[in-house]
């Protein structure tokens, strides 16, 4: 069972990695009973872009590395990711830290694309 978000953009929050309130990182304001409703407009673009840049800085070179891993793997677990990382990059990875920023970046990019395309973006996030 997972927690989803739906509306102008849709997706699933990463289990054990991503909070339902993650859109607040990009300047969204949620309203909370059992779900959180988010709404972004063109006025939100600078905060969204700023959030995306922060995510990219936190990930550094690991952003491209994670893209490659997920291009090759539709599903993952920590053991599989760690094994891939050690064999391909010869270093350890802080899995929870990197996946939190990677999942957040994905959400931010969805929000940005939606606002740029439609002028606004709204969605509901399950708690």
From first to last of its 127 residues, the chain has per-residue pLDDT tens of 578 889 999 999 988 889 888 999 999 887 766 778 899 999 999 999 999 999 999 999 999 999 999 999 988 898 999 999 999 998 888 988 999 999 999 999 999 999 999 999 999 888 7
Task: Assign residue 12 a region (left: φ > 0; alpha: ψ between -120 and 50; beta: otherwise).
Answer: beta
- The vertex-19 CA angle with 17 and 23, nearest 5°, equals 120
Q: What is the pLDDT of residue 93?
A: 84
pLDDT at 10: 92
Beta bridge partners of 122: 39
Given this model, what pLDDT does residue 20 score? Answer: 85
Supply the pLDDT for residue 1.
55
| Cα–Cα distance for residue pair 50/72, rounded to 1 Å | 29
Distance CA 16, CA 57 (A): 22
């Amino acid at each position: 069972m997972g927690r989803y978000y739906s509306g102008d953009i849709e997706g699933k929050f990463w289990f054990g990695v991503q909070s339902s309130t993650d859109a607040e990182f990009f300047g969204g304001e949620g309203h909370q009973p059992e779900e959180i409703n988010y709404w972004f407009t063109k006025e939100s673009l600078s905060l969204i872009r700023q959030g995306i840049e922060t995510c990219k800085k936190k990930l550094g070179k690991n952003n491209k590395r994670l893209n490659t891993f997920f291009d090759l793997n539709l599903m993952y677990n920590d053991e599989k990711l760690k094994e891939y990382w050690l064999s391909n990059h010869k270093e350890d990875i802080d899995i929870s830290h990197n996946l939190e920023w990677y999942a957040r970046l994905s959400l931010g990019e969805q929000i940005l694309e939606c606002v740029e395309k439609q002028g606004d973006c709204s969605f509901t996030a399950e708690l």
